[in-house]
């Protein structure tokens, strides 16, 4: 890389940073642009140093969010210079500032072609790296053949080959037919055996793209990938050169090879290859359990990166139960670490394995630690992952315990996650409580304590289950009436109580404590505090009481009369129609109109669908927040910086 220490550039950046307001910044930039324009009008006077300095100033101005109309041609002319430092600045300018609609694109393409055809490896490298980041369809069409020729030429240096592989990956994504399907895929696969690990690391990304598209011999690729991984892990001293990172042999390459294996078929029939793969994974597990060779966090991160990618591969191919158990054992050890990011990954990975029969019982051994994470962890994301894992581990044997933990979590959790926890409690209670009375108790408890987070899907499903389960009609009515005696009274709970007592209140009417008048008065005492939709439901319940219990007729009739002039048209209409029905309808007519609701024919639950939609919504929301945070990251004080970033194609940092 060239020496970029330029005194004039440093002074200009310092002046910009010392500006006390935006107006001063604009004034300083305009002054500098005027100076640059005047200098570029006398190109013969400028030496190479000054050209580079002024081009770098223009790049900085552009990154601050300001446009300019000078310097483009001068920057492109730097590409034709034989000096590397000049060419480097030229490529940096066209990467950051120039777009594909520029009038100078053809000149840029010509310069790139000349650099690729030259015998200067530094110039070839610059051209390849530019194309690898900025290529479009036109470039892919023009440069594809040259890049292939460079890649497989015997005279090409290893560094250029590495850049050529990455460039070819970019061109292949733009134009998939750029790689002929004769012998080129096999020749690309052979890079897995190259002595230079830089070439191997770059080639794995290209091979993964070809494997995903099904454009190579997957058996051959599988053999070479596994042998290379085994060689790295088992014999790190043979060919790792400078690729040991904090005592971990080639961690990035190991991770990429394991990711590549997920694009290939599992070695089921190839016993020798399968043995090599099993041995490699065993080595990874054994090294993960070794005492750390240094206290540096980089060492732990590299070991964990390889370990988690190996565990991910085991899950992906549904490997032998012995490997799955070893993976769970490794996760158990990692769960006890103090590092928050590691615990997050462990909980997320455990959730995946909890669906596997060999692992579920093994993971249950750590359920106490998971519960402690739910209760005591300060990190919201980790608590969320612990809740997801507990939800997955729940069965008929531990449902009561896990539901209670969820209730404890609801009391201290953030408001944003309470709706999701409520949905999970509802699903677990329905699926794993064999006695529907427990389910009724749980839902009523949620309605009382966290009614504002109980969605329509949950209480509609509750009504559906109670209606279809004849043996719990009386229990549901009794439980609802008892719950109405003590606050709090959330409106959702009042709506459920109105339905249940309207349908099944007659089953508890024989008890003096819950006689019809008590039920009616208890419900109506909540009437003034309800929304219009809940009041409408209550009026329907009152009408059912009128039909079933003669002693309530006068009280109910008075309620209807009082609401016949209600401001809400729905309540007004119901009160009017019900009042008229009370006056003119015969007993048989009332019995027919106000008969019990029939069983629900559709037995499917919409609660699980609601949970999936909610999780998707939260995922999208967090993604958009992260994206917005990235866009708002300040580089300078210019208000137009975000607009400038959208036109940039390289990271300004």
Instruction: Provide the mean pLDDT of the chain.
Output: 88
pLDDT of residue 633: 37
Alpha-carbon gap, residue 476 to 193, rounded angstroms: 70
The pLDDT of residue 632 is above 50? no
pLDDT tens digits, residue range 88-140? 999 999 999 988 778 888 899 999 999 999 999 999 999 999 999 999 999 99
Residue 58: pLDDT band with limits 50, 70, 90: very high
pLDDT of residue 622: 54
The pLDDT of residue 383 is above 50? yes
Continuous segment of H or E residues that includes residue 27: helix 22-40
Q: What is the mean pLDDT of residues 428-453?
A: 94
Q: Are 191 and 153 spatial neighbours (Cβ–Cβ below 8 Å)?
A: no
The pLDDT of residue 400 is above 60? yes
pLDDT of residue 470: 93
Q: What is the mean pLDDT of residues 294-316?
A: 93
Angle among Cα 479, 483, 487 to the nearest 5 degrees reads 175
pLDDT of residue 240: 65
b/e map 499-519, b = 16+ CB within 10 Å: bbbbbbbbbbbeeeebbbebb
Alpha-carbon gap, residue 75 to 93, rounded angstroms: 7
- In 229-375, DSSP assigns E strands to 244-245, 248-249
pLDDT of residue 585: 74
Residue 620: pLDDT band with limits 50, 70, 90: low
Alpha-carbon gap, residue 507 to 505, rounded angstroms: 5
pLDDT of residue 158: 94
Q: What is the mean pLDDT of residues 149-177?
A: 94
pLDDT tens digits, residue range 562-581? 999 999 999 999 999 999 98
Q: What is the mean pLDDT of residues 181-202?
A: 92
Residue 4: pLDDT band with limits 50, 70, 90: low
**Cα 598 from chain centroid (whole Å):** 43
pLDDT tens digits, residue range 340-360? 899 999 999 999 999 888 788
pLDDT of residue 412: 83
Residue 463: pLDDT band with limits 50, 70, 90: very high
Q: What count of Cα atoms within 13 Å lies in the side-chain half-sphere of residue 513? A: 7
């Amino acid at each position: 890389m060239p020496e970029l220490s330029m005194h004039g550039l440093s002074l200009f950046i310092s002046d910009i940073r010392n500006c006390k307001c935006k107006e001063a910044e604009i004034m300083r930039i305009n002054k500098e642009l005027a100076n640059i324009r005047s200098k570029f009008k006398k190109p013969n006077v400028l030496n190479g140093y000054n050209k580079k300095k002024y081009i770098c100033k223009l790049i900085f101005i552009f990154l601050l969010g300001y446009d300019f109309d000078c310097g483009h041609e001068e920057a492109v002319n730097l590409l034709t210079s034989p000096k590397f430092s000049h060419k480097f600045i030229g490529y940096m300018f066209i990467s950051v500032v120039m777009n594909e609609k520029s009038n100078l694109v053809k000149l840029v393409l010509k310069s790139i072609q000349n650099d690729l055809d030259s015998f200067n490896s530094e110039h070839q490298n610059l051209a390849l790296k530019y194309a690898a980041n900025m290529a479009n369809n036109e470039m892919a069409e023009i440069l594809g053949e040259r890049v292939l020729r460079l890649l497989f030429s015997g005279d090409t240096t290893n560094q250029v080959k590495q850049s050529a592989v990455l460039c070819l990956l970019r061109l292949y994504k733009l134009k998939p037919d750029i790689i002929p399907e004769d012998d080129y895929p096999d020749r690309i696969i052979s890079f897995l055996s190259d002595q230079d690990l830089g070439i191997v690391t770059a080639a794995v990304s290209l091979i993964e793209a070809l494997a995903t598209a099904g454009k190579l011999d997957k058996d051959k690729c599988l053999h070479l990938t596994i042998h290379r991984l085994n060689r790295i892990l088992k014999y790190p001293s043979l060919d790792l050169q400078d690729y040991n990172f904090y005592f971990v042999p080639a961690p990035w390459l190991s991770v990429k090879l394991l990711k590549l294996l997920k694009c290939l078929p599992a070695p089921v029939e190839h016993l020798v290859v399968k043995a090599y793969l099993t041995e490699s994974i065993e080595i990874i597990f054994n090294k993960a359990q070794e005492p750390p060779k240094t206290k540096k966090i980089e060492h732990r991160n590299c070991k964990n990166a390889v370990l988690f990618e190996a565990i991910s591969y085991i899950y992906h191919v549904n490997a032998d139960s012995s490997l799955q158990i070893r993976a769970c054992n490794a996760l158990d050890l990692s769960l006890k670490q103090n590092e928050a990011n590691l615990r997050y990954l462990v909980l997320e990975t455990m959730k995946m394995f909890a669906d596997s029969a060999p692992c579920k019982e093994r993971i249950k051994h750590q359920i106490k630690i998971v519960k402690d994470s739910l209760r005591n962890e300060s990190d919201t994301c980790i608590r969320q992952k612990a809740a997801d894992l507990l939800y997955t581990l729940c069965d008929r044997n531990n449902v009561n315990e896990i539901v209670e933990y969820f209730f404890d979590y609801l009391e201290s959790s953030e408001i944003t996650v309470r709706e999701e926890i409520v949905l999970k409690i509802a699903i677990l209670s329905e699926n794993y409580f064999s006695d529907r009375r427990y389910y009724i108790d749980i839902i009523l408890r949620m309605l009382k304590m966290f009614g504002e987070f109980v969605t329509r899907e949950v209480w509609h499903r509750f009504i559906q289950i109670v209606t279809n389960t004849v043996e719990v009609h009386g229990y549901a009515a009794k439980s609802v009436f008892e719950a109405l005696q003590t606050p709090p009274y959330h409106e959702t709970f009042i709506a459920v109580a109105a339905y249940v007592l309207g349908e099944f209140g007659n089953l508890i009417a024989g008890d003096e404590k819950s006689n019809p008048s008590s039920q009616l008065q208890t419900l109506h005492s909540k009437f003034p505090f309800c929304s219009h939709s809940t009041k409408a439901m209550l009026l329907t319940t009152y009408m059912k009481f009128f039909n079933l219990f003669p002693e309530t007729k006068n009280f109910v009739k008075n309620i209807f009369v009082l609401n016949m002039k209600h401001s809400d048209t729905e309540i007004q209409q119901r009160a009017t129609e019900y009042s008229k029905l009370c006056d003119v309808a015969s007993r048989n007519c009332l019995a027919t109109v106000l008969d019990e609701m029939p069983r629900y024919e559709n037995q499917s639950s919409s609660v699980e669908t609601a949970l999936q939609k909610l999780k998707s919504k939260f995922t999208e929301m967090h993604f958009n927040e992260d994206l917005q945070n990235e866009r708002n990251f300040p580089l300078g004080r210019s208000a137009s910086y975000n607009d400038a970033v959208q036109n940039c194609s390289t990271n300004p940092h």
